[in-house]
Amino acid sequence: MSDGKPCPCMQTHVDMMRASVPKNDPLRKIECAACGKTVWVNRETKYCFDCETRMVKDNASADNNDGPP
């Protein structure tokens, strides 16, 4: 049994894997639209993590305040 030659389909797979690897860093620098802080994010957002968390909390408490106590 000889393992000298790589299987052609393996080689294609390797090429595809190599092509799919992004060259640039997934992190992007943004300026938070709420507090103006410069933060690094790896997803689509306009706000830093702090503001995003606060907004989610505000929304949640607003929903809670909707009903009678």
Name the site residues for Zn ion (rule: CB under 5 A). 32, 34-35, 37, 48, 51
Query: Whose CA is closest to 52, among 22, 32, 29?
Result: 32
Please answer whether residues 3 and 12 qualify as being in contact, where contact means their C-beta atoms are separated by less than 8 angstroms.
Answer: no
Please answer whether residues 38 and 50 qualify as being in contact, where contact means their C-beta atoms are separated by less than 8 angstroms.
Answer: no
User: Minimum distance from CB of 27 to Zn ion (Å)?
Assistant: 17
Nearer to Zn ion by Cβ, of 14 and 34: the residue is 34
User: Minimum distance from CB of 16 to Zn ion (Å)?
Assistant: 39
Nearer to Zn ion by Cβ, of 15 and 31: the residue is 31
Nearer to Zn ion by Cβ, of 34 and 60: the residue is 34
Please answer whether residues 38 and 31 qualify as being in contact, where contact means their C-beta atoms are separated by less than 8 angstroms.
Answer: yes
